[in-house]
Amino acid sequence: MIGALRGQWPKFKRLLLAFGLFGLAIWPAAGWLGYDLLSDEAARFERYPGLHVNSATIIGRDFVNIWHGGREALNGAEGIYDRTEYRRTLRASADVWGIYAFSYPPHMLMLSVPFGVPPYLWSLALWLIATFGLFTWAARPWLRQAGLPLWSVLLLPGAVVNLWAGHFGYMIGGLALYGWWQANRRPGLSGAAFALMSVKPHMGVLVPFILAAKREWSTIAWATLGTLVLVLASTLAFGIDAWTTWLTSTLSFQVGLIDPGAQREYYYMMPTVARMLLSIDREGPVLLGQILFGLTTLALLVWAERRHAALSDLGLLSIAATPLILPYLFNYDLVALSLVALVWAARSPARWWSPERLAYGAMFVVPLAQAPLAREGYWLSPVAIIVALALAAWRSGRDWAEEPE
């Protein structure tokens, strides 16, 4: 036992000192922000009746869509993409209302079915445990490569937000990490992981481009085949109308949620360039700014690739680049982003007082810091992410090329 603890000490030290001098602020900030978020949720739970954390939402928040979607799928999924009918059945089954909608493509209904069988709290626990297990399993080789302990996954700011929201952060992050690790090792498994990411298709927007740049045609073929199989199976299970409605109605509804003419609480949870620019000037050239940020991000990825960055390093860069390219994304999607920041910090040869470590630390806390800072008028997340991305792109193909696996 003592020997095992001694063996963990170098990894613990590497974790503790990952952000160098700036860890004196980064670690306490992450701890305080996480405590503040979860303690506020616990206080809400005590204040409202039943499972509610406010007048319209229950604990686990967005997980209610997965649970209710699974239950509706067991009944044939009729009306699940009819938002009026969906909200009626959701309120009847869980006393939840508001602008909820089942916004995911029909093959997510198949994955939701097991979570629609148990009572809500049991289902929420099953979802969080299962997706946390997936993420931890997928994160293991990355943490081992960086010399970090496996239990680092418990300290990720993105993980805290995902627990609060009951969302896809663990699942999509785990699939992305696993897919990139296996891409040039086991193309079939990598392709399967990327295919499953299509339940939130925007989160994999950079995957095919990076795979093509590295000529990973086998992985692309397996990912394409896997996605087609999921689409076909869901069409056979729920009919073509489910796909037609999702493509023609649901997607436009989701795009409308970023409406600059309104101000909603969940806007503060969006660490995107578009929301940052809209907060500065709703009438300004937001689209132009989003395009410029996107092109700069793509240029950094091309730069890293031209410097002969390994495919795995390009995969990590793509995880950080995704929130800079997408105008629609939330802080609960950023579990893998926190892990990437920690891995970059641990692998960096920068001095312990170098601002580079501060950049990785700032990106590390983005999921938790986004909403509190945005409410005060500070939309700094895209800036923090692009600075860390630029530094990591500079390191890729150079200082990190000789890192042991």
pLDDT digits (tens, 9 = 90+) for 65-90: 999 999 999 887 778 999 989 999 99
Distance CA 151, CA 143 (A): 9
Spatial CB neighbours of 216, under 8 Å, sequence gap ≥ 6: 183, 184, 187, 311
Q: Give the residue from 181, 397, 209 showing the smallest Cα distance to 306.
A: 397
What average pLDDT does range 198-227 have in this prediction?
Answer: 96
pLDDT of residue 281 exceeding 70, the answer is yes
How many angstroms separate the CA atoms of 102 and 199, rounded?
Answer: 12
This prediction has a pTM of: 0.94
Q: Are 332 and 269 in contact (CB under 8 A)?
A: yes
Residue 4, pLDDT > 60, answer no
The reported pLDDT for the residue numbered 252 is: 84
Six-digit token string for 217 = 């045609």
pLDDT band at 402 (very low <50, low <70, confident <90, very high): very low
DSSP character string of 190-228: HHHHHHHGGGSGGGGTTHHHHHHHTT-HHHHHHHHHHHH
pLDDT for the residue 366: 98
In terms of Cβ atoms closer than 10 Å to its own Cβ (0-12, 13-18, 19+), residue 249 is middle
The arithmetic mean of pLDDT across residues 312-337, rounded, is 96
The Cα 343–Cα 15 span in angstroms is 9
Task: Count other C-beta atoms under 10 Å from residue 126's C-beta.
Answer: 15
Q: Which of 80, 128, 131, 75 is nearest to 103 (CA)?
A: 80
Mind listing the pLDDT tens digit for each residue in 150-180?
999 999 999 999 999 999 999 999 999 999 9
Which residues, 6 or more positions from 97, have their beta carbon under 8 angstroms from its beta carbon?
Answer: 56, 87, 90, 91
> Residue 166 has which token pair?
């009951």
Spatial distance between the Cα atoms of 270 and 279, rounded to a whole number of angstroms:
11
Looking at residue 225, its amino acid is: L
Reply yes or no on whether the pLDDT at 258 is more than 90: no
Amino acid 121 reads: L
Which DSSP category does 249 fall into?
I
Mean pLDDT of 111-126: 96
**72 to each of 127, 198, 216, 305, how far by Cα in Å?**
17, 21, 39, 45
Is the pLDDT at 2 greater than 80? The verdict is: no
- pLDDT tier at 133 (50, 70, 90 boundaries)? very high
Phi/psi for 58 (5° steps) reads: -110, 165
Phi (first) and psi of residue 52, to 5 degrees: -75, 145
Helix/strand/coil for 261: coil
pLDDT for the residue numbered 253:
83
pLDDT of 1 > 70? The answer is no
Measured over the CA atoms of residue 42, residue 45, residue 46 and residue 51, the dihedral's sign is negative
| Mean pLDDT (whole number) for 386-404 | 81
Q: What is the pLDDT of residues 283-322, one digit of tens each?
A: 778 889 999 999 999 999 999 999 999 999 999 999 999 9
For tokens 């978020």, name the residue. Answer: 37
As a whole number of angstroms, the distance between CA 108 and CA 231 comes to 10
State residue 263's pLDDT score: 66
Give the span between the Cα atoms of 352 and 231, in whole angstroms.
49
Domains in the chain: boundaries: 267-400
> Greater confidence, 388 or 82?
388
Nearest 5°: phi and psi at 201? -60, -30
Asked if residues 51 and 59 have their Cβ atoms less than 8 Å apart, the reply is yes
Higher-confidence residue of 186 and 249: namely 186
Q: At what angle do helices 381-395 and 286-306 cross, to 10 degrees?
A: 20
Q: What share of the chain has pLDDT > 70, as a percent?
A: 96
* Amino acid code (one letter) for 221: A
State the pLDDT at residue 351: 93
**pLDDT-derived band at 200, boundaries 50, 70, 90:** very high
Instruction: Tell me the pLDDT band of 8, cut-offs 50, 70 and 90.
Output: confident
Least confidently predicted of 11-20, 133-142, 359-368:
11-20
In this predicted structure, what is the pLDDT of residue 192? 97
Residue 403 pLDDT class (50, 70, 90 cuts): very low
What local confidence, expressed as pLDDT, does residue 295 receive?
96
Q: What are the angstrom distances between the C-alpha of 211 and each of 125, 204, 223, 306?
A: 35, 11, 11, 14
Asked if residue 260 has pLDDT above 70, the reply is: no
- 148-157, 251-260, 338-347: lowest mean pLDDT where? 251-260
Position 145 pLDDT exceeds 90? yes
Averaged over 189-206, what is the pLDDT?
96
> What is the arithmetic mean of pLDDT over 123-136?
97
Reported as a single tens digit per residue, the pLDDT across 218-245 is: 999 999 999 999 999 999 999 999 999 9
Q: Return the pLDDT at 405.
A: 42
> What average pLDDT does the chain have?
92
